[in-house]
Amino acid sequence: MAQTSKLDASVGTRNRTIILAAAEKAFASHGFKGTSVQRVADLAGLPKTNVLYYFKTKQDLYLAVLKQTLSLWNSTFDLATVNDDPAIVLSHYIAEKMELSRTHPLASKIFAMEIINGAPNLNHYFNDEHKEWMQGRIAIIQGWIDQGRMLAVDPHYLLYNIWASTQHYADFSTQITRLRGGKMKKSDFTEATRHLVTLILNGCGLSVPEKYRIALK
């Protein structure tokens, strides 16, 4: 009996993973309104009834995709303190955000569309969790400023610039591809990360960690 339960759990986990991956593709391409449960089922290669077994409504499925996206964005910056080195913390945060734009571009696009539409499905998150996270990060950055460890830049604008710069590579990947004449490779993301870290840290009066320094040509 226990073995059967483990098998059922394994199948359930696999099906949910397949469904969420299909939903991510559908929502990123067609938005919430343009996506149907049937479209997700077709992309997942599963009957519609199977999708509805795990997610009762399209809304439930969409919220699950958003929740998965937000969990992806957890970073080392979440655990940073005012005693940490601002140059290391910020450069790592920028690098993590860039890597997520490379590996999970669809998740970023779905989040962007949700925000553009007024974040109707993220009210609780934005009113509570996100605001609390933001206030905590601002306090740390302000602490670094008060200690004279970085320039007195506005912490809000600093974070907005990091988000805009890093998520641009996912949300506007089509534009970048057309301008470059081809998709960015992993090595291109690495180089773009170095330049972005340099631009932001220099603007904060911080030295760029050796790992992220631009190679002299």
- Domain 73-212 classification at class level: mainly alpha
Residue 12 Cα to chain centre, angstroms: 26
216 backbone dihedrals φ, ψ, rounded to 5°: -75, 140
Tell me the two tokens of residue 46.
Answer: 């599963």
Task: Give which of 67, 51, 217, 213 is closest to 129, Cα–Cα.
Answer: 67
Task: Give which of 193, 12, 160, 10 is closest to 92, Cα–Cα.
Answer: 193
Please give the Cα distance from 51 to 205 (Å, whole number): 51
pLDDT at 43: 95
What residue segments make up the domains of the chain, in order of their start? Answer: 2-62, 73-212
Whether domain 2-62 has CATH 3.40.50.300: no
Low-confidence ranges of the chain (pLDDT < 50): 1, 4
Please give the Cα distance from 121 to 105 (Å, whole number): 20
pTM: 0.86
Mean pLDDT score across all residues of the chain? 91
pLDDT at 5: 52
* Pair 157, 102: CB distance under 8 Å: no
Please give the Cα distance from 150 to 208 (Å, whole number): 12
pLDDT at 57: 93
